[in-house]
Chains A and B, each alone.
Chain A
Amino acid sequence: GAGVSQTPSNKVTEKGKYVELRCDPISGHTALYWYRQSLGQGPEFLIYFQGTGAADDSGLPNDRFFAVRPEGSVSTLKIQRTERGDSAVYLCASSLTRYNEQFFGPGTRLTVL
C-alpha cells in the first residue's frame, strides 16, 4: 500500500520567505509527527498530532514554526520568515496510534539561501 508521502521533495527559498511543507500520512493513521534532520545529525522531534489536534508541540524551535492538520489526515508544516539555520531535511512520520511503529516519509530538503 501507499506509504507516507511528502511534497515537495526539495525546496529552495530565500531568507525571509514563507514556506509550506506537506505530509500525506498512511490512510487510517491517527498519529502524525514532524521531525527535523540537520546535516550530520539524527532527526529531532518537532510536533505530534493526535487526530486534528497538536498534542505535543514542545519541539518547535520558535514561533516562526507552525503546523496544522485540519481534517486529521494531511498535515502542513509552515515556516515564516525563514532563516539560513532552518535549512535541513524535514521528515514526517505516521503511526496507527502513538505507541505503534512510526512509518517515515522520504523527507523534504529545505535550503534557505
Chain B
Amino acid sequence: AQSVTQLDSHVSVSEGTPVLLRCNYSSSYSPSLFWYVQHPNKGLQLLLKYTSAATLVKGINGFEAEFKKSETSFHLTKPSAHMSDAAEYFCVVRADYGGSQGNLIFGKGTKLSVKP
C-alpha cells in the first residue's frame, strides 16, 4: 500500500531563514507526489506536484521539493521564510494502482510556525 510519513509534526523557524519540511513515501511504483498547504479557516491549496518528470519541482510562493528515489523522500524547502508561510503543510501521494487508483493519501501534516 502507498503511504507518506511526515517526519516532523511541528517546525518553527525565524523569518528570513530557510524552511525544510520532511516527507518520506512508500510506494511500489513510481509515485505521484504533492505538497498541499492549509491556512487557518481556508481550503487546502496545491503548492507543487511531482509526476515523474523533473526531480526538482518548483511550486508557488518560492517553495520547491526534490524527489529522491534512493532515499524515498520528497522534502519541501524554501530559502527564506515569510510570516505568511505559517500554516499546516501536507505531503500527499496519489494511489496510482489498485481499486483506489486516483485517490489522494495524506500525511499527518507539519505545522510551520514563523517567528518575527
Contact partners of A44 in chain B: CB under 8 A: 106
A21 contacts across to B, CB distance below 8 A: none
B43 to A98, Cβ gap below 8 A? Answer: no
Within 8 A of B (CB), among A92-113: 93, 98-99, 101-107
Q: Is the CB of B43 within 8 A of A40?
A: no
Residues of A within 8 A of B109 (CB): 40-42
Q: Are B42 and A106 in contact (CB under 8 A)?
A: yes
Chain A residues with CB under 8 Å of B92's CB are 42
- B80-103 CB contacts (< 8 Å) to partner A: 90, 92, 99-100, 102-103
Please tell me if A32 contacts chain B, counting CB pairs below 8 Å: no
- B residues contacting A by CB (< 8 A) are 36, 41-46, 49, 90, 92, 99-100, 102-109
- Look across to chain A and name the residue whose beta carbon is closest to the beta carbon of B6: A42
Residue in A3, A40, A48, A106 whose CB lies within 8 Å of B41: A106
Residues of A within 8 A of B (CB): 3-4, 33, 35, 40-45, 48, 56, 58-59, 91, 93, 98-99, 101-107
| Nearest CB of chain A from residue B20's CB, rounded to whole Å | 19
Q: How far is the CA of A82 from the CA of B50 in the complex (A)?
A: 39
List B contacts of A98 (CB < 8 A): 102
- Minimal beta-carbon separation of B99 from chain A (angstroms): 7
Kindly state the separation between the CA atoms of A79 and B43 in the bound complex, as whole angstroms.
Answer: 22
Question: CA separation between A56 and B92, bound complex, in Å?
Answer: 19
A60 to chain B minimum Cβ distance, whole angstroms, is 13
B108 touches A58 (CB 8 A): no
Residues of B within 8 A of A41 (CB): 108-109
When C-beta atoms are compared, the residue in chain A nearest to B109 turns out to be: A42
Question: Contact at A104–B103, with CB atoms within 8 Å?
Answer: no
